[in-house]
Amino acid sequence: MSEQKKTILSVSDLKVQFDIYPKGAMPWTKPNKLKAVDGVSFDLYEGETLGIVGESGCGKSTLARAVIRMLPVESGEIMWLGKDIAPLRDSQMRSHRKDIQMIFQDPLASLNPRMTIGQIIAEPLKTHYPDTPKEEVKEKVKEMMKTVGLLPNQINRYPHEFSGGQCQRIGIARALILKPKLIICDEPVSALDVSIQAQVINLLMDLQKRMGLSLIFIAHDLSVVKHISTRIMVLYLGNVMEVADAADIYHHPRHPYTQALISAVPIPDPKIERNKDIILIEGDLPSPINPPSGCVFRTRCPKAQALCAEQVPELENPRGTHRVACHFHD
């Protein structure tokens, strides 16, 4: 797949850190470094969906916001269509933002309650193409509303008049109005009911085929990620644990952390669900301010040995489709 399709985004050794000052610190106190993303690398190909999974605090949302340059980058490269956008200032990023859009987790909170949905969807057009005639903007907004399953006669209504699923459709319409090349979906269905989740995911998959979009889809639920993703990347404490095709990583997980995540996915058959083996991860997520030496997962890993504390495992098989960072993987 990687040899046939064009790479539109290539992230290399990306690091995102935050300064954390102790409570009551003096002005000259040296801050602690919180390593939210610690050397993540991946490629995204044209027309594919890369799913990113991991428990809360593993750096999924921080990675997404760093890629779109909503957060400052400590080091590393973000090659977008052949250009490194990591060192660009906000003013220099403006021309790239119309090609990279984002859908947020809370559909209602991401919409301005004082604006009609017509104004919300039209806002990116007015920002990037201020000279577009009002009637043309209105027609494009109505057309996009139809595309995402909203009625054009609802254009003058406000966000509080819509359900959570409809608000997420408004957010999708706003992200698509500029016809971007990449959509970053930051847990877009986690705040929705299960039946509405399926509708939104199916809508995203349909729009991807129709518009040739590339997607980065972030979620906790591996069953949701498997349904929509071409490939899946597993994060833990800001590090990549495993990357593989969706079906391969679901049926043949090799990293102990991935195996634990897969074992927690519910199975529709009650008999199989009752008899399956669930791998429990003991302990809490370590602090990203003071991560474990060597492999960051070793403090909770059932296979950890002395080598794991001494040496950081690298992603094996750099040219293969299934890569895993573990000294003792299956």
Inter-CA distances, 210 with 9, 100, 148, 176, 202, Å: 20, 17, 12, 12, 12
Return the percentage of the chain with pLDDT > 70, whole number.
96
- Model confidence at 284, pLDDT cuts 50, 70, 90, reads confident
**What average pLDDT is seen over the chain?**
89
Q: Is the pLDDT of residue 3 over 60?
A: no
**Mean pLDDT across 200-228:** 90
pLDDT for res 258: 93
pLDDT for res 300: 92
pLDDT for res 315: 87
pLDDT for res 269: 66
pLDDT for res 1: 45
- Model confidence at 274, pLDDT cuts 50, 70, 90, reads confident
**What is this structure's pTM?**
0.89
pLDDT for res 4: 64
Q: How far apart are CA 234 and CA 181, in angstroms?
A: 24
Domains in the chain: ranges and CATH: 7-21+31-278 (3.40.50.300)
